[in-house]
Amino acid sequence: MEAYLDNGATTKTLESVKDVIVKVLCEDYGNPSSMHQKGVDAEKYIIEAKNIIADSLKADPKEIVFTSGGTESNNMALIGAAMAYKRSGNHIITTRIEHPSIHNPLSFLEETGFRISYLPVDKYGKVEIDALLNEICEETILVSIMYVNNEIGSVQDIAQIAKLIKGKNPKVIFHVDGIQAYGKYRIFPKKMGIDLLSISGHKIHGPKGIGALYIRDKVKMKPILFGGGQQKGMRSGTENVPGIAGLGVAVKEIYMDHELKIKKLYGLKKIFIQGVKEIEDIIINGITDNEELTDTAPHIISVSFGGIRSEVLLHTLEENNIYVSAGSACASNHPQLSGTLKAIGIKKELLDSTIRFSFSINTTLEEIEYTLSTLKEVIPVLRRYSRH
């Protein structure tokens, strides 16, 4: 049997998404900037996808800009907004548990003269609100906080955070990395006080290499790519029409019967947590006392296994056709230890003993049960070897 539990890294593309991509690649392959019929046919896919995404956000299609994925969306949001508002101030606030596609562009901005504040989080990965309010000042131009943490699945109260930010300084632009949240939650930026929202296609059964950035009307942005002026100059370059069409279909399908899908995910998460608790010397990270688990993301579980290196366990599971991540996939190829796990204060010896299990709408009960039985079988063996 095979169990793919690395959906936080990427999801399997839907058949309907694959079909529209092939159709665009092989039939409606025109350049959307061309004035002839082939170009017009290609442009229709862009218009339709914008409408679908905008509808899911209760936004205006003009507020959607297509990118190459979550990393570019985050870079565009941070660098574009910082450059647009630098005359108003040079202070930016984020958290210690953000994705590298947030921290690294902020490091770049810091080198150019911006001042960056990093907020602490509690043991569950929730932002320390008092620290946030203390940091906001007249010089603050931008706050960036992720909706769902990609490693431990902690969820921020984005609407409440936005209200507090705007109450302290109404001019602050609020960016939300929604890459692990979009498709799992109903996100309405205008209602929630979000100015910029990043999304990614391959986290919701769409293709890789495509994403979008919601930019609230009247929010100023400087482009970070220059060229032919596509997308009203906000993101030059010939649009990835197959990817955009695929993203539109993925968004449409992920929000069909949405409540049932999320209920299923929470059900699987509950079963997994109950099962993994039967293993000795484990810690489930970011989980509160909420029995229904609804204050955490429905699809991410982070477990630290005492006495076993995460890389060893990952490859042992792989030998049994079970696929997971050591922490987050984006950091799996790098030796540094997780900033998120450090920020929530887990024991030093567990930093390199943590596995992320992540589910999708395709995940089955059989995969969960197989993974749990395999863990119960291999953990004692690995611990015996690790003690020698």
Question: Which residues sit opposite 197 in a β-bridge?
Answer: 176, 214
Phi, psi of 175 (to 5 degrees): -100, 140
Across the strands, what pairs with 91? 115, 140
Q: At 95, is the secondary structure helix, strand, or coil?
A: strand
Please identify which of the residues 224, 312, 330, 351 carries the catalytic annotation.
330
DSSP string for 254-304: HTTTHHHHHHHHHHHHHHHHHHHTTSSSEEEET--S-TT-TTB-TTEEEEE
> CB-based contacts of 352: which residues, under 8 Å, 6+ apart?
309, 310, 311, 337
DSSP state of 222: -
* Annotation says 330 is catalytic: yes
Secondary structure of residue 226 in the 3-state scheme: coil
Q: Tell me the H-state helices in the chain.
A: 15-26, 37-57, 70-84, 100-111, 129-135, 158-168, 189-192, 241-254, 258-276, 310-319, 339-343, 365-386
Q: Residue 81 phi/psi, 5° resolution?
A: -70, -40
Neighbouring residues of 377: CB distance < 8 A, sequence distance ≥ 6: none
State the burial class of residue 259 (Cβ atoms within 10 Å of its Cβ: 0-12, 13-18, 19+).
exposed
* Six-digit token string for 268: 């699987």
Q: Which residues of 354-382 are buried (b: 16+ CB within 10 A; e: fewer)?
A: bbbbbbbbebeeebbebbbebbeebbeeb
* Radius of gyration over every alpha carbon of the chain, rounded to an integer in angstroms: 21
- Helix/strand/coil for 340: helix
- Dihedral of the alpha carbons of 92, 95, 100, 104, in degrees to the nearest 10: 30
**Which H/E stretch holds residue 199?**
strand 196-200
Catalytic site positions: 330
